[in-house]
């Protein structure tokens, strides 16, 4: 019994250690999208109309909760709307209009493993939120996110069940637009050839600790 407990403690400590080094969100600047030269770069959030500022800040508070205090404006664009764009009178709340503001906020909270993550908020011509790369519901309380060590242990258990190699695995982070979830993505080596390597991937929901997707990806070897 003591041997089992010691082994379990060792596994937990190992997962916590690996989680601290491997499970870090460090996203490079996502730059600006290209709108065919029909946009003006925004250097400051103060350049956005006050009404739009209020809408965006309220939306961020509702969507990411207390993390909104850790998000700062990074960069953005205001997009020119031309007369030959789709008619405004055919747009409804359920069918957002043309993108007017493309705004990016840098989220940083190392206490939950986020060193840098760019929130991209698009606002339409009617001051409605069009999109964001974060789930709109259920992910506004970071204390509800599963501890990183627990996520890692779950992923490794899944890998063991599927007989996947756990040697030199990699971990990434993404917003799954398809499932509207925040996921940690684990890549386990499958095969390595002279020019191509393959990896088995498992995407784990950070909130519910469940497998969202499984797949096989290929990368070129330089």
- pLDDT tens, residue by residue, 32-70: 888 888 899 999 999 999 999 999 999 999 999 999 999
Q: Which secondary-structure segment (H or E) carries 22?
A: helix 2-22
- Which residues contact residue 95 at a Cβ distance below 8 angstroms, ignoring those fewer than 6 apart? none
Beta bridge partners of 160: none
* CA torsion angle 142 146 148 154 (round to 10): -160
Lowest-confidence pick of 76-90, 100-114, 125-139, 140-154: 76-90
- pLDDT of the residue at 19: 57
The first and second tokens of residue 14, run together, are: 């190992």
Query: Is the Cβ–Cβ distance between 156 and 145 less than 8 Å?
Result: no
The rounded distance, in Å, linking the Cα atoms of 141 and 171 is 23
Q: Which residue has the higher pLDDT, 176 or 85?
A: 176
- pLDDT of the residue at 212: 97
The rounded distance, in Å, linking the Cα atoms of 126 and 14 is 51
- pLDDT of the residue at 22: 86
The rounded percent of the chain whose pLDDT value lies above 90 is 66
Q: Looking at residues 128-133, what average pLDDT do you find?
A: 96
The first and second tokens of residue 205, run together, are: 């929901």
- pLDDT of the residue at 90: 39
Q: 3-class DSSP state for residue 12?
A: helix
The rounded distance, in Å, linking the Cα atoms of 218 and 136 is 31
Query: Is the Cβ–Cβ distance between 103 and 118 less than 8 Å?
Result: no
pLDDT at 194 over 60: yes
Q: Looking at residues 201-210, what average pLDDT do you find?
A: 97
Q: Which residue has the higher pLDDT, 93 or 152?
A: 152
CA 58 to chain centre: 20
pLDDT at 11 over 60: no
The rounded distance, in Å, linking the Cα atoms of 186 and 173 is 9
- Residue 105, classified by CB atoms within 10 Å of its CB into exposed (0-12), middle (13-18) or buried (19+), is buried
């Amino acid at each position: 019994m003591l041997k089992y407990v010691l082994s379990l403690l060792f596994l937990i400590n190992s997962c916590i250690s690996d989680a601290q080094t491997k499970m870090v969100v460090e996203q490079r600047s996502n730059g600006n999208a290209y709108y065919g030269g029909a946009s003006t770069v925004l250097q400051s959030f103060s350049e956005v109309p006050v009404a739009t500022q209020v809408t965006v800040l309220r939306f961020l508070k509702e969507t990411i909760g207390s993390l909104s205090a850790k998000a700062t404006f990074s960069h953005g664009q205001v997009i020119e709307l031309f007369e030959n764009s789709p008619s405004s009178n055919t747009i409804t709340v359920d069918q957002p209009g043309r993108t007017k503001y493309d705004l990016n906020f840098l989220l940083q909270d190392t206490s939950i493993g986020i060193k840098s993550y760019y929130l991209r908020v698009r606002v339409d011509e009617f001051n409605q939120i069009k999109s964001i790369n974060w789930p709109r519901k259920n992910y506004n309380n970071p204390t509800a996110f599963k501890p990183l060590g627990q996520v890692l242990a779950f992923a490794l258990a899944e890998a063991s069940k599927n007989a996947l190699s756990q040697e030199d695995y990699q971990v990434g982070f993404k917003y799954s637009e398809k499932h509207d979830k925040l996921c940690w993505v684990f890549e386990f080596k499958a095969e390595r050839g002279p020019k191509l390597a393959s990896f088995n991937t498992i995407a784990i929901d950070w909130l519910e600790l469940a497998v969202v997707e499984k797949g096989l990806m290929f990368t070129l070897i330089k």
